[in-house]
Chain A
Amino acid sequence: MERIKIDFNKCTGCRMCEVACSLSHLPDEVNPRRARIRVLREGEKSFPNIAGPYTEAGCNSQLLIVVDGVTYDECALCRASCPMKPIFKEADETPLKCDFCGLMDSPGPSCVRWCHSGALSLVETDL
């Protein structure tokens, strides 16, 4: 089964993925705010973040996580469509979620097609 692999070390923060996603889902509009992938900038690094499940409430405990020796706010890296954050939802609060566009008609998700740095790639997994 194919999954999108994210290598944040390669992400340049160009946000082509956000544009590709919005153009693939909206009729004739480019709007990163309505994309199901968003690139988060944390310090000097950029993290592509793909929309996941909707949650009705924010977490009670907001944790910090350490990646490569650098501490990040877990909320920032979380994929949920959550009331605490303005991402992964339409203006009327309808949640947005990645639908793995292009799976049936190759070559696959728009965000991966437009990513030139190799931060997003399609990999085969057994899951």
Chain B
Amino acid sequence: MDGWAGKILRVDLGSGRCATEELAPQDARAFLGGRALAVRLFTREVAAAVDAFSADNKLVIAAGVLTGTGAPSAAMACAVAKSPLTGGISAADVPGHFGAELKFCGYDAIILEGRAPRPSYLSVIDGRVRVLAAEHLWNESTDRCDELIRQEFEDPWKAREFHILSIGPAGERQANVATLATRGMLALGGAGLGAVMGNKALKAIVLRGTRGVSVAAGKAFFGAVTDAVAALRQEANTLSRQLSDAGTALFLQAASALGAVPVNNFSGRAFTNMAALSDAALARQLSGHRGCFSCPIACVRMTCVSANGFRGCGEGPGYDSLVMLGTNCGVESLAAISAAGYACRNLGLDPISTGGTIALAMQLAEEGLLGAEELAGPLSFGDGAGVVRLCRLIGLGKDMGCVLGNGAANLAAYCERPELFAGVKGREMPPIDIRAAQGLGLHFATSNCGPYHLSGPLAEELLGGLDAAHKTEGKAAQVVLAQNWRAAASSLGVCQIAFMGLDHATFAPLLSAATGAEVSTEEILLAGERAINLERAYNIAAGITGAEDSLPERLSAPMSAGPAAGQTCRLNELLPEYYRLRGWADDGSPSAEKLSALGLD
């Protein structure tokens, strides 16, 4: 098979038995890879009623079809499981080099089922697949776990070439905010998945492959990629250039101008102090740039801080951390935000879910509902050291860290203040105040995995100007198209961040040259639409109905200040049109006609 590896690795963690299966050509063609394929494999095998922490839950990781071919920014593998955070399906892209290495090991996907009887890690090295003991890795940070795995392998030079996916102590304790990590990078929107991996007692997956990915028309493919890389150098490509220079932090200026940067647990005020978190301020801590496999954009910034008692080096902060560990906690200290970000990476914590929980904790502490004893010290909005302290508490499960680790929805219920939870379907709100961005409001309300900004019209909304962001006209159609495209991107294996800076028209020719099949842009988009419809049908069977396509009470009041002052969510103007465009019934369920048209019945 060209493009695809043609094989799936199935691992029964309970028995340690591993088997290789064929990837059915019709599945490959209809779902491509990544999100659509992982969702397809998952929903076919895991009943909707299965609990996230049941041994019957599975963790499916599928590489994009273009992952490992060298297509621009095609680095991703998508991890899918029943999420403990939402009780529904969750899909998150894994960045870095893990996905490509999966293809070089000869697999399009891994299906992890059951639960290991003791802490274990999966080793897939030079064609040999084994489930090995990981007691000595348990309790270690993601960085240290990575180091230890390499150190203990007999050939240090081969060990340098390992690519490792792991969980931190929070994932081991099955904290809902725990995510998956790979050498300093975190899964994009992976809250809950770290908990599932921890529930399976799986600490890490180690890959080293020696196979190649075969490409049908090598010369044509080489030419297409060469042209795509050359196109990035052109003047017109300002977004990709900005992503290369500033990383995702570039969105802070644009979001701030819309009044869309949340402050103090989505209080309704908007962040405007760009001087504290300006490009110049960020540039002062820059020590380098890092890129995922075959990504010419390389948006990850390497930084070092040493100020105000905060010391460390690592990846970020990008937009998510600047807001969720920063402005939404009332914190504008770049050093504190950076340090909190480094801690999240090391402990395997999703910055959005963790930051959202910390912001809520700050509000509850200010209202006297959480005490200093429980939080290892006083806590209030604006306390940068407090954010770092709480990341460590949550990561290590100390004091109230165990409760906080279960996320903001749980915390709000615990303190009997459910109206303070800013989130949808139990998952914390991403770093956009949607009262200032109507299209993203619709997307967050309807997103199957819970609200997440990269899987919808992020660039479209943030970079389209103030008036457009505050309008609802045309937004339903824009959201449907953006959701389909982002799901399609993930199925190709193309990064959702880089995707915003790449020309969408490049992918059909690339995929055709890689696979030898004549694939059109429409077909690529269809794979994305299939993913979304499969997820939706699964969630409904799991009890997450259209009634959950709503926005929280926390965001019901109008914005009180900033460029979006007076704006409210106008979801009711958009939802019926959205369902109609999707071919779904009034209750948000996919119609039989739609499922049939997509070949999903």
Give residues of chain A (1-50) contacting chain B, Cβ–Cβ below 8 Å.
9-10, 12-16, 19-20, 22-24, 26-34, 40-41, 44-46
A91 within 8 Å of B (CB atoms): yes
Cα distance A52–B216 in the bound complex, in angstroms: 30
Cα distance A40–B159 in the bound complex, in angstroms: 12
Chain B window 87-124, contacts with chain A (Cβ cutoff 8 Å), 1 for yes, 0 for no:
00000000001000000100000000000000000000
Provide the residues of chain B in CB contact with A85, threshold 8 Å: 157
Return A43 CB to nearest CB of chain B, in Å: 10
Given A29-B218, A116-B232, A44 and B212 contact (CB-CB distance below 8 Å): no
Do B70 and A86 have beta carbons less than 8 Å apart? no
B213 within 8 Å of A (CB atoms): yes
In the complex, which residue of chain A has the Cβ closest to the Cβ of B296? A116
Provide the residues of chain A in CB contact with B226, threshold 8 Å: 113-114
Do A117 and B298 have beta carbons less than 8 Å apart? yes
Selected interface stretch from B186-194, B285-293, B330-338, B378-386: B285-293
Cα distance A125–B64 in the bound complex, in angstroms: 42
A65 within 8 Å of B (CB atoms): no
Cα distance A22–B218 in the bound complex, in angstroms: 10
Return B582 CB to nearest CB of chain A, in Å: 36
B225 is contacted by which of A29, A32, A114 (Cβ under 8 Å)? Answer: A114
Cα distance A110–B290 in the bound complex, in angstroms: 21
Do A12 and B290 have beta carbons less than 8 Å apart? yes
Cα distance A114–B104 in the bound complex, in angstroms: 20
A84 within 8 Å of B (CB atoms): yes
Provide the residues of chain A in CB contact with B216, threshold 8 Å: 28
In the complex, which residue of chain A has the Cβ closest to the Cβ of B161? A86
Cα distance A33–B209 in the bound complex, in angstroms: 9
Return B154 CB to nearest CB of chain A, in Å: 13
In the complex, which residue of chain A has the Cβ closest to the Cβ of B226? A113
Given A16-B70, A30-B69, A45 and B288 contact (CB-CB distance below 8 Å): yes
Give residues of chain B (61-75) contacting chain A, Cβ–Cβ below 8 Å.
68-70
Cα distance A91–B298 in the bound complex, in angstroms: 31
B389 within 8 Å of A (CB atoms): no
Cα distance A35–B404 in the bound complex, in angstroms: 47
In the complex, which residue of chain A has the Cβ closest to the Cβ of B300? A12
Give residues of chain B (258-309) contacting chain A, Cβ–Cβ below 8 Å.
287-298, 300, 302
B211 within 8 Å of A (CB atoms): yes
For the A-B complex, the count of residue pairs with Cβ-Cβ distances under 8 Å equals: 106
Return A41 CB to nearest CB of chain B, in Å: 7
In the complex, which residue of chain B has the Cβ closest to the Cβ of A22? B212
B297 is contacted by which of A15, A29, A33, A116 (Cβ under 8 Å)? Answer: A116
Do B213 and A117 have beta carbons less than 8 Å apart? no
Cα distance A112–B216 in the bound complex, in angstroms: 24
In the complex, which residue of chain B has the Cβ closest to the Cβ of A114? B229
Provide the residues of chain B in CB contact with A113, threshold 8 Å: 226, 229
Cα distance A33–B158 in the bound complex, in angstroms: 11
Given A23-B215, A45-B288, A116-B229, A16 and B296 contact (CB-CB distance below 8 Å): yes
Given A12-B298, A29-B215, A31-B104, A91 and B291 contact (CB-CB distance below 8 Å): no
Provide the residues of chain A in CB contact with B297, threshold 8 Å: 116
B217 within 8 Å of A (CB atoms): yes
Given A16-B70, A113-B229, A117-B289, A27 and B294 contact (CB-CB distance below 8 Å): no
B138 within 8 Å of A (CB atoms): no
Cα distance A28–B515 in the bound complex, in angstroms: 11
Give residues of chain A (29-87) contacting chain B, Cβ–Cβ below 8 Å.
29-34, 40-41, 44-46, 76, 84-87
B293 is contacted by which of A14, A31, A117 (Cβ under 8 Å)? Answer: A14
Give residues of chain B (234-274) contacting chain A, Cβ–Cβ below 8 Å.
244
Which residue among A24, A30, A86, A114 has the maximum number of chain B CB atoms within 10 Å of its CB?
A: A30
Given A16-B294, A23-B218, A116-B229, A31 and B157 contact (CB-CB distance below 8 Å): no
B155 within 8 Å of A (CB atoms): yes
Provide the residues of chain B in CB contact with A14, threshold 8 Å: 291-296, 298
Do A86 and B157 have beta carbons less than 8 Å apart? yes
Return B127 CB to nearest CB of chain A, in Å: 11
B222 within 8 Å of A (CB atoms): yes
Provide the residues of chain A in CB contact with B68, threshold 8 Å: 30
Provide the residues of chain B in CB contact with A24, threshold 8 Å: 222
B144 within 8 Å of A (CB atoms): no
Chain A window 93-127, contacts with chain B (Cβ cutoff 8 Å), 1 for yes, 0 for no:
00000000000000000100110110000000000
Provide the residues of chain B in CB contact with A91, threshold 8 Å: 210
A34 is contacted by which of B212, B214, B233 (Cβ under 8 Å)? Answer: B212
15 A-B pairs whose Cβ atoms sit less than 8 Å apart in the complex: A9-B288, A12-B300, A13-B291, A14-B293, A14-B298, A20-B70, A24-B222, A29-B218, A30-B68, A32-B104, A41-B160, A114-B225, A116-B229, A117-B289, A117-B296
Residue numbers of A with Cβ under 8 A of B are 9-10, 12-16, 19-20, 22-24, 26-34, 40-41, 44-46, 76, 84-87, 91, 110, 113-114, 116-117
Given A12-B289, A86-B158, 20 more contacts at CB 8 Å?
A12-B288, A12-B290, A14-B291, A14-B295, A15-B97, A16-B294, A23-B70, A23-B221, A28-B2, A29-B215, A30-B214, A33-B212, A34-B212, A44-B287, A45-B288, A85-B157, A110-B222, A113-B229, A116-B296, A116-B298
